[in-house]
Structure 1
Amino acid sequence: MSWPSLSLFSTKPAPRCKGKVSAGAITKELLRALPPGRIVVLAHRDLDEVIAQELIDRKVKAVINCQPTMSGTYPTQGPLMLLKQEIPIWEADCDAFEQLSGQTEVTIYETFLIGGSGTQPLPCRAFTKAEWLQRYQQANANITQALSDFIDNTLSHAMQEKATVMEPLPLLNLQTGMEGKHVLVVARGKGYKQALSEAADFIHDVCPVLIGVDGGADALLECGYQPDIIIGDMDSVTDRALLCGAELIVHAYPNGTAPGMARLEALGVSGQLFPCFGTSEDAALLLAYENRGEWIVTVGAHTHMIDFMEKGREGMGSTLLVRMKLGARLVDIKSIGLFYRHTASRKKDAWVTVSLALFFILLALLQTHWITKRISHAVWQWGG
């Protein structure tokens, strides 16, 4: 990265942005309890759309990224989403993160920034829409090779894990029964909050078992639902969700190590270990499958190359195998949501028809009453 000369600092132009700082080397952990109006300091290579939307929802003031905001490896709309919301992005050198993470306030100028404690100026530069477009075009030009490498990686890992996926996983002693029930698994994928809000009719009618995968549990709570189970590494879920009363299952590596268990212990809550290969999303789907869930419905599921590259994964071997194992029992909420939208439309049309029929019946009754009254009046006059 090419930085401007520090000789410009002597002129010290007017600041572009100033505010309180919140810093985090792991972005999803920073987002757990991020107050609104902060300047966030990240070390997040290739800012993805899910993180961008979270930053927008938390009304951040600006973003200082100490990693390439967009490398051009794959196309992503994340940086553009922020810029369209007038949330500026500045890039600083990777060495700047440690200095900035200790600051409580920062002032950003055009080509440098200064911490609130009067530290030495650090060079920075704005990430613009023009740069996003350049990187986006670069990524699209390289997409064929990226897809080829992704497929090779996926098939290689699938071959290594195919025996593992066929073995039954350990059954946990769960309070939540899933046999013969529909199960809704909510993960933090693209558009997951909107998809969950659109699933309201399905949830109301079916009353599925609700499983939140890490931060997916917070989305359930935000929509007014009580998660039955929370499963994951416990790195993006909030304390509020972990204390909501749901059964907690820590996704462990196949060798049994589970970093997420330390967080539960620190909160004073208990959870069960679930050793499983693949991602926490894979583990949630297999948990529902092994416990004989009838339909396993996904919200925010990761299903294609861009989804996985945004998660920092260069293949999806385990996810491919899990979906092959679950077969027709696995469906996405978008498919069910389409049916429910059509059903709602039919109900609306039926209600309009009934309303119009009632209106005309009432009108006919009123007319009949008026005619009857006129006839009675005429007969009375004639008889008189």
Structure 2
Amino acid sequence: MRSPVRQRSLSVLLPGAEGTARVERRVRQLLPRLRPGDVAVLDQLDLDRATAQALIAAGVVAVVDASPLISGRYPNLGPAVLAAAGIVLVDSVGPAGLAAIADGRRVRVHDGVVYDGETELASGRALDDDAVAAEMELARGGLVTQLQAFTHNSSEFLRREQDLLLHGTGLPRLSTRIVGRPVVVVGGGEDLGSEIEAVRTFAREQHPVLIAVGAGAEALHAAHLKPHVIVLEADAADHELPRAATLKAARDVVVRIPPGAGRAGLERIERLGVRPLRLETGAAAEDAALVLADAADPTVVVAVGMHAGLSELLDSQRPGLAGAYLARLRVGSRLVDAAAVPHLYSGRVRPWHLLLVMLAGLVALAAAIAVTPVGQDWLDQLPGALSDLRHDLSGLFT
């Protein structure tokens, strides 16, 4: 019979990252199950940065992927984020390796191998900072192919969605008045908190219409800002939906439904006590929110927590990538990224700002007069004048 103390001693001596395996092919279903110290076992090709940030927030010690974390199609950003956070990475363990790791089992990950104690369960490719950097450099060569496919997909998407993108056909009528007002559209990016902080002064002083997409509604509430319009995906998981109280507090709730889909997404929101508006489009909810805002003729549209550059758009792995590109073309010169707002808008001039300027001017004027002959005479007479004033005041109160 083996001694439990002996087993624990061997476990401590064995190298690698140790934790409870949480096995799930789909990342969306895996993330809610993760706890600090777990080993995330998944199957996702080209891990993106948003997923990497979610894994870090969950506190995992290792990530084991059945597929390549970096396939070479384009330089996806997720593995570099995980490696920089010190998380052990193993990819390409394959379907057999994924099946060999039991969910809930205590495992150890070391040098590209997943162990149960000293028994090997699965093996793949170990990735550290240097390996990730080398793979990313090779992956940059795949951008040309991705751009060619992207150009073709954009043409097809525009053909299908031209009525919505060009003419606004099918957009719901909002009760929130947007025309002639600034709009802030809040997505679900990984730096959402810092980007909301960057536009806080603008939001407090300019009173823009706040449009939140999915989890962006709760991020606004955490910053003590109330969204006027909330845009949701019909097939969003329950944990991705805002609270019922948050939805009820908004003036408009819009549900983005894929073309030809039924009412299942609407009915789920209706059961929360909300009467949503239907928006049928192949564009993602973030892109639909931009089109929705632009169609109401705002003065400016500030994008918070949204993918801005080519690398970020490719890294998002969205099926409607062409929709993101065309929606931004639709908004055009009105669109401003949240990172630019602090450089473009410093806030209104307040009364105390003017008071400080006046005081500074008076001090400068007094200093200039003091160095003149007249100023010297005034300074010589100042003690006597103050003494007379004090004598007169004391006589009044005696």
Tell whether the structures are fold-level matches, with TM greater than 0.5: yes
Q: Which residue of 2 is the match for residue 281 of structure 1?
A: 286
Q: Partners in 2 of 1:140 and 1:345 — Cα distance? A: 47
Residue 383 (structure 2) pairs with residue 372 (structure 1): yes
Could you list the per-position Cα deviations for residues 290-338 of structure 1 after superposition, in whole angstroms to 9, with x for gaps in the alignment? 4444433211333443333223247743334433433444333334332
Instruction: Give the aligned CA root-mean-square deviation in angstroms.
Output: 4.2
Q: Displacement of 1:18 after TM fit?
A: 1.9
Task: Give the conservation status (yes or no) of the 8 Å contact 1:150–1:305.
Answer: no
1:72–1:267 Cα change, 3 Å = farther
Q: Partners in 2 of 1:102 and 1:164 — Cα distance? A: 45
Task: Give the conservation status (yes or no) of the 8 Å contact 2:62–2:109.
Answer: no
1:337 maps to which of 342, 349, 353? 342
The one-letter amino acid of 2:245's match is C
Task: Give the conservation status (yes or no) of the 8 Å contact 1:216–1:237.
Answer: no
Which deviates more from structure 2 when the two are superposed, residues 179-188 or residues 155-164?
155-164
Q: Partners in 2 of 1:89 and 1:130 — Cα distance? A: 12
1:375–1:160 Cα change, 3 Å = closer
Q: Displacement of 1:210 after TM fit?
A: 1.8
Equivalences for residues 60-79 of structure 1 within 5 A: 60-79=60-79
Which deviates more from structure 2 when the two are superposed, residues 230-239 or residues 263-272?
263-272
The one-letter amino acid of 1:273's match is R
Q: What is the DSSP-based 3-state SS (H/G/I as helix, E as strand, rest coil) of the residue aligned with 2:245?
A: coil
The one-letter amino acid of 1:17's match is A
Q: Which residue of 2 is the match for residue 305 of structure 1?
A: 310
Task: Give the conservation status (yes or no) of the 8 Å contact 2:77–2:315.
Answer: no
Which runs of no fewer than 5 residues in structure 2 stay unpaired?
A: 1-9, 371-377, 392-398
Q: Displacement of 1:23 after TM fit?
A: 4.3
Could you list the per-position Cα deviations for residues 237-296 of structure 1 after superposition, in whole angstroms to 9, with x for gaps in the alignment? 746723232243221012244664475467676533321232211211222234444433
Q: Which residue of 1 is the match for residue 94 of structure 2?
A: 93
Q: Partners in 1 of 2:312 and 2:29 — Cα distance? A: 19
Q: What is the DSSP-based 3-state SS (H/G/I as helix, E as strand, rest coil) of the residue aligned with 2:246?
A: coil
1:375–1:251 Cα change, 3 Å = closer
1:36–1:327 Cα change, 3 Å = same
Q: Partners in 2 of 1:33 and 1:303 — Cα distance? A: 30
TM-score by structure 2 length? 0.73
1:142–1:173 Cα change, 3 Å = closer
The one-letter amino acid of 1:226's match is K
Q: Partners in 2 of 1:27 and 1:150 — Cα distance? A: 24
Q: What is the DSSP-based 3-state SS (H/G/I as helix, E as strand, rest coil) of the residue aligned with 1:142?
A: helix
Q: What is the DSSP-based 3-state SS (H/G/I as helix, E as strand, rest coil) of the residue aligned with 2:291?
A: helix
Could you list the per-position Cα deviations for residues 131-179 of structure 1 after superposition, in whole angstroms to 9, with x for gaps in the alignment? 2122111112333343333223323433454345334334546454434
1:344–1:141 Cα change, 3 Å = farther
TM-score by structure 1 length? 0.76
Q: Displacement of 1:199 after TM fit?
A: 0.9
Q: Displacement of 1:46 after TM fit?
A: 1.1
Task: Give the conservation status (yes or no) of the 8 Å contact 1:210–1:226.
Answer: yes
The one-letter amino acid of 2:86's match is E
Q: Partners in 2 of 1:151 and 1:335 — Cα distance? A: 28
Q: Displacement of 1:47 after TM fit?
A: 1.6
Which deviates more from structure 2 when the two are superposed, residues 237-246 or residues 217-226?
237-246
Q: Which residue of 2 is the match for residue 6 of structure 1?
A: none
Q: Partners in 2 of 1:307 and 1:208 — Cα distance? A: 26
Aligned residues: 364
The one-letter amino acid of 1:275's match is E
Q: Which residue of 1 is the match for residue 242 of structure 2?
A: 241
Residue 188 (structure 2) pairs with residue 188 (structure 1): yes
Could you list the per-position Cα deviations for residues 98-142 of structure 1 after superposition, in whole angstroms to 9, with x for gaps in the alignment? 5547326433344432469x9972334422222212211111233
**Identical positions, percent:** 25
Q: Partners in 1 of 2:355 and 2:73 — Cα distance? A: 52
1:46–1:267 Cα change, 3 Å = farther
Q: Which residue of 1 is the match for residue 55 of structure 2?
A: 55
1:190–1:111 Cα change, 3 Å = closer
Could you list the per-position Cα deviations for residues 225-246 of structure 1 after superposition, in whole angstroms to 9, with x for gaps in the alignment? 2333321325367467232322
Which runs of no fewer than 5 residues in structure 1 stay unpaired?
A: 1-10
Residue 114 (structure 2) pairs with residue 113 (structure 1): yes
1:313–1:130 Cα change, 3 Å = same
1:290–1:345 Cα change, 3 Å = closer
Q: Partners in 2 of 1:311 and 1:197 — Cα distance? A: 23
Which deviates more from structure 2 when the two are superposed, residues 212-221 or residues 235-244?
235-244
Q: Partners in 1 of 2:256 and 2:268 — Cα distance? A: 13
